Amino acid sequence: MKQFLKLYTTTFLGLFLLTSTPLFSMSNGYGLWLDYTKIKDKVVLEGYRSQLQGIYLEEGGATLKVIGEELTMGLGTLLDTNLKFNALGGDGNMLIVSKYMNLPKNLTEKMEVDDLKKEGYIIKNVDMEGGSHVVITARDDIGLLYGTFHFLRLLQMHKPLKNLEIVESPKVDIRMLNHWDNLDRTIERGYSGFSIWNWQTLPDYIDQRYIDYARANASVGINGTAVTSVNANALILTPHYLEKVKALADVFRPYGLKVYLTARFSAPIEIGGLKTADPLDAKVIQWWKNKADEIYSIIPDFGGFLVKANSEGQPGPQNYGRTHLDGANLLADALAPHNGVVMWRAFVYSEHDPTDRAKQAYNEFVPDDGKYRENVLIQVKNGPIDFQPREPFHPMFGAMPNTPLMMEFQITKEYLGFATHLVYLPKLFEEVLKSDTYRKGKGSLVAKVIDGSLNHKKLTGMAGVSNIGTDFNWTGHPFGQADWYGFGRLAWNPYMDSKDIADEWLRCTFTNDEHFVGPVKKMMMESREAVVNYMDPLGLHHIFDTGHHYGPGPWVDNLSRPEWNPVYYHKADSLGIGFDRTKTGSDALFQYAPEVQKMFTDLETCPEEYLLWFHHVPWDYRLKNGRTLWDGLGIKYQKGVDQVREMIATWEQMKPYVDDLRYKQVTMLLNIQLKEAKWWRDACMLYFQTFSKMDFPKEMEAPEHALEYYRSLQFPYAPGIRPSWN
Ligand code: GCV
């Protein structure tokens, strides 16, 4: 970690002069969850020192070298000692890191490798003559690297090594970040600075950040990255840029991180000089084939293409009267000889389609189930609209048994308070993954679609839209790191409990002190419900202010496309509020399995979290607690505000356990969050009151301003918006 600090000291000297506490002498967040510090607990430290007296590391290429460096740095700092790298066979308790086939026979005999898959690993304590060893073994180098990170995490968390027996294999093949980074270094929906990819100085200048980025991803098992935005620029596919991408791929390779690119569908015209991008045109077909060959000649382990087509103005096959199927298969054929994949996004909706936006993706894709090439994955957002604080799971999950469907989560908080709100996203991710699609009876969880087990899919994947930028601590909010970390852990194993992930992250990032871990973990776990309460309670959705999505805008009704207007989603009127998606309304519910339809259709069984997502309900409708819908809405908004107050109270108690810098940062951010939670409550309730004409419930605090004040707020420079949308 020291070298990172040194590197950034110079850059931040200016900042240092402005602050009373020198940034480079304290934990500033750059080291993420990998900021190994010396173990202070003497008993734990001595235990580890006697258990780890030397290291045997098999010889090998670049990944083995990375493992050696990580162990030297990690163990050197955690145990405050310089462990020697020894040959096998001496006396003493050793850490042995070696691929299975290279272990001596007396050790292989003790390893159960039948279940061990590609990239998987075993960490096992083996007592033998000569010592009690900890063995990290795998089938491949990357498995050893992942095992090494897991092993170091055990030490960071003060876990016992005695009798250790861990067998881990990833449940999902492609575990990747999607960067919505533009070539000019702005980031669509990015709130943590600019893009970390400096295209101007690549390929000659390798920023230390690229290496640290790869290392951080490897530490949680992320093995892919699409470095450019889905609103793609065709230039990334030109030789000039491919050389730069190659430089990144070379840095990432030892860490098991593959590069993917976003492919602009009209690239054959824009950079290829063709007159058309029609997917059935012979010249277009040849152009993509040549392009794929060219990319692989430069980057032999290139992952493939990620494509947004015919969505929000992006070009696509439908411009030529063709289908998504035609487009996806065109690119798949070009990549297939090189084992590349196409991730074709299902986030499509059209202003020319008057049906409920929530229904459009399913209608476009499901009829072609089974017709996609084997190397195509359809990438589906977790819910049918767009990364709202809460959405029901996307009806496509489970509805295409003959096509690999991969998950797209959003790690950056476009609709969850940007990088200023503390909202622990793995809780949201877990809720989606554990949702039951009922497609093959009870227990057909979304997680089973994603890991391929529901329909025996060979190719599987999970993507997360990155929240990473040039901010010193990568993610702006110190707790945003937990979302990156948690995404990686869930992509590795979609059945993990988000609470366990929070526990790991807190211990590795801050401290093992239970006085800290307990309350802060509770705060993180409750933070997701808090944001739902103060933004979108009871199934409300997409009532954000225009374009930038910063703050409330339930009144917006003047955008060119109907489905871009919040009024389209809440449908408040004098009778009530909510989107009727039952048979009497858009019938979007029809797209779910009968059991799910039934549950959401019946007001008795529809969970209140989804009430206004599926139903238009009268203002005086009685909720399960006997209160009217109107009162219930106000009570939820108030609860969200109160929950943020509780978060602040919790954090105030944490001062003794956190470094000064992060303590202050989180304190300031929580206060912004409180201010904005009140803003949401007041703006939404005042606006909805113009329809309900009812008094606020007694539990709700009086709004601070009149509705007109909230309606007048403008934020022309709110971050993260595409310049053309401003
Ligand atoms: C990259 C939403 C966002 C857009 C984003 C789009 C997508 O509409 O607001 O910024 O574009 O989703 O996922 O393609």
Nearest atom of ligand 1 to the alpha carbon of 465 = 13
Average pLDDT over residues 624-630: 98
Q: Is the CB of 347 under 6 A from ligand 1?
A: yes
CATH number for the domain that contains residue 491: 3.20.20.80
pLDDT on residue 2: 39
Domain match, 178 and 327 both: yes
Q: How far is the CA of 9 from the centre of ligand 1 (A)?
A: 36
In a domain, 119, yes or no: yes
pTM of the model: 0.96
Q: How far is the CA of 385 from the centre of ligand 1 (A)?
A: 11
Mutate to test the pocket of ligand 1, among 189, 550, 724 (most ligand atoms within 8 A of CB): 189
In a domain, 66, yes or no: yes
Domain match, 188 and 88 both: no
Q: Which domain-ending residue is among 137, 168, 199?
A: 168
CATH number for the domain that contains residue 640: 3.90.1330.10
Tens of pLDDT, residue by residue over 410-423, are 999 999 999 999 99
Tens of pLDDT, residue by residue over 367-426, are 999 999 999 999 999 999 999 999 999 999 999 999 999 999 999 999 999 999 999 999
* Partner residues linked to 436 by β-bridges: 445
In a domain, 522, yes or no: no
Q: 259 is in which domain, residue-wise? A: 174-509
Domain match, 556 and 498 both: no
- Token reading at 43: 């008993």
Domain match, 338 and 486 both: yes
User: Could you say which DSSP state residue 686 is in?
Assistant: H
Q: How far is the CA of 208 from the centre of ligand 1 (A)?
A: 30
Largest CA distance in the chain: 82
Average pLDDT over residues 252-260: 98
CA 692 to chain centre: 38
User: Could you say which DSSP state residue 652 is in?
Assistant: H
Of 22-31, 95-104, 147-156, 529-538, which gets the smallest average pLDDT? Answer: 22-31
In a domain, 523, yes or no: no
- Beta-carbon contacts of residue 41 (< 8 Å; ≥ 6 apart): 158, 512
Domain match, 92 and 196 both: no
Task: Decide: helix, strand or coil at residue 344.
Answer: strand
**Greater pLDDT, 4 or 273:** 273
Q: Is the CB of 180 under 6 A from ligand 1?
A: yes
In a domain, 514, yes or no: no
In a domain, 702, yes or no: yes
Domain match, 83 and 203 both: no
Contact 288, 322 (CB under 8 A): no
**Position 26 pLDDT exceeds 80:** no
The closest residue, in CA terms, to atom 7 on ligand 1 is 347
pLDDT on residue 5: 36
**Position 20 pLDDT exceeds 80:** no
Rounded CA gap, 524 and 521, in Å? 5
Tens of pLDDT, residue by residue over 313-365, are 999 999 999 999 999 999 999 999 999 999 999 999 887 888 899 999 999 99
Tens of pLDDT, residue by residue over 123-176, are 999 998 889 999 999 999 999 999 999 999 999 999 999 999 999 999 999 999
Q: pLDDT band for 607, please (50, 70, 90 cuts).
A: very high
Mutate to test the pocket of ligand 1, among 347, 349, 418, 569 (most ligand atoms within 8 A of CB): 347
Average pLDDT over residues 469-483: 98
Q: Which domain-ending residue is among 124, 148, 168?
A: 168
Rounded CA gap, 322 and 303, in Å? 26
**Position 18 pLDDT exceeds 70:** no
- Token reading at 180: 């919505």
Q: Is the CB of 357 under 6 A from ligand 1?
A: no
Catalytic residues, by residue number, are 312, 386, 414
Nearest atom of ligand 1 to the alpha carbon of 180 = 1
Q: How far is the CA of 654 from the centre of ligand 1 (A)?
A: 37
- Token reading at 217: 């991803």
Q: pLDDT band for 12, please (50, 70, 90 cuts).
A: very low
Q: pLDDT band for 3, please (50, 70, 90 cuts).
A: very low
- The torsion angles phi and psi of 171, rounded to 5 degrees, stand at -90, -10
In a domain, 528, yes or no: no
Tens of pLDDT, residue by residue over 562-596, are 888 999 999 999 999 999 999 999 999 999 999 99
Domain match, 552 and 677 both: yes
Contact 175, 223 (CB under 8 A): yes
User: Beta-carbon neighbour count of residue 35 at 10 Å?
Assistant: 18
Domain match, 38 and 26 both: no
Q: How far is the CA of 720 from the centre of ligand 1 (A)?
A: 11
Tens of pLDDT, residue by residue over 68-90, are 999 999 999 999 998 999 888 87
Task: Decide: helix, strand or coil at residue 379.
Answer: strand
Average pLDDT over residues 537-547: 96
Distances (CA, A) of 315 to 284, 560, 570, 721: 14, 19, 30, 20
- Overall residue count recorded for the chain in this entry: 726
Strands (E), 500-591: 576-577
**Which amino acid makes up residue 518?**
G
Domain match, 184 and 215 both: yes
Nearest atom of ligand 1 to the alpha carbon of 314 = 14
Domain match, 191 and 334 both: yes
Query: How many domains are there within the chain?
Result: 4
Rounded CA gap, 673 and 423, in Å? 10
Q: Which domain-ending residue is among 475, 493, 509?
A: 509
Tens of pLDDT, residue by residue over 437-452, are 999 999 999 999 999 9
In a domain, 12, yes or no: yes
Cα dihedral 268, 272, 275, 281, rounded to 10, equals -50
CATH number for the domain that contains residue 77: 3.30.379.10
Domain match, 482 and 333 both: yes
**Which amino acid makes up residue 653?**
Q
Domain match, 138 and 76 both: yes
Q: pLDDT band for 17, please (50, 70, 90 cuts).
A: very low
